[in-house]
Chains A and B, each alone.
Chain A
Amino acid sequence: MAALSQIDIARTFREEYGRAVAVLTRSFGDIDAAEEAVQDAFITAIERWPREGPPPSPAGWIITTARNRAIDRLRKDSSRHERHEQAVLLQANDPLDEDESVHDDRLRLIFTCCHPSLATSAQVALTLRLLGGLTTAEIAKAFLVPEVTLAQRLVRAKGKIRDAGIPYRIPEASELPARLIPVLAVLYLIFNEGYAATSGSDLVRGELCAEAIRLTRVLSSELPDEMEVQGLLALMLLSDARRPARVTADGQMILLRDQDRSKWDPVATAEGLRLVQRCVQYNRPGPYQIQAAINATHAIAASTAETNWAQIVTLYDQLLAIQPSPIVALNRAVAVAEVDGPQTALQLIDPLVVDLDRFYLFHAIRADLLRQLGRNEEAAASYSKAMERCENDAERDFLKRRLTELTSRAV
Chain B
Amino acid sequence: MKHYLLSIYQPDGPPPPPEFLEPIMRDVNEVIREMKAAGALVFGGGLYPASTATVLTFKDGKMLTTDGPYIEGKEHLGGFDIIQAPDLDAALEWGRKLARAITLPIEVRPFQHNA
The chain A residues found within 8 Å of chain B, CB to CB, are 115, 117, 163-167, 169
Contacts and interface: CB of A to CB of B under 8 A. Distances in A.
Interface string B73-98: 00000000000011111011000000
Contacts, number: 23
Contacts of A167: 86-89
A154 to B, nearest CB: 19
B2 interface: yes
Nearest to A166: B88
Nearest to A117: B88
Main secondary structure of the interface of A (DSSP, over half): loop
A167 B86 CA distance: 9
A165 B2 contact: yes
- Counting chain B residues whose Cβ lies within 8 A of the other chain, the interface size class is 10 to 19
A165 B87 contact: yes
10 contacts: A163-B110, A163-B112, A164-B109, A165-B88, A165-B110, A166-B89, A167-B86, A167-B87, A167-B89, A169-B89
A163 B114 CA distance: 10
B110 A164 contact: yes
A117 B91 CA distance: 12
A368 to B, nearest CB: 48
A117 B92 contact: yes
Nearest to A115: B88
A166 B92 CA distance: 10
Contacts of A115: 88
A164 B95 CA distance: 14
A166 B112 CA distance: 14
A165 B91 CA distance: 9
10 A-B pairs closest in CB distance: A167-B87, A165-B87, A164-B110, A165-B88, A164-B88, A165-B2, A166-B88, A167-B89, A163-B110, A165-B110
Nearest to A171: B89
A117 B87 CA distance: 13
A14 B88 CA distance: 30
Contacts of A169: 89
A115 B88 CA distance: 10
A115 B92 CA distance: 12
A109 B88 CA distance: 15
A167 B90 CA distance: 9
Contacts of A117: 88, 92
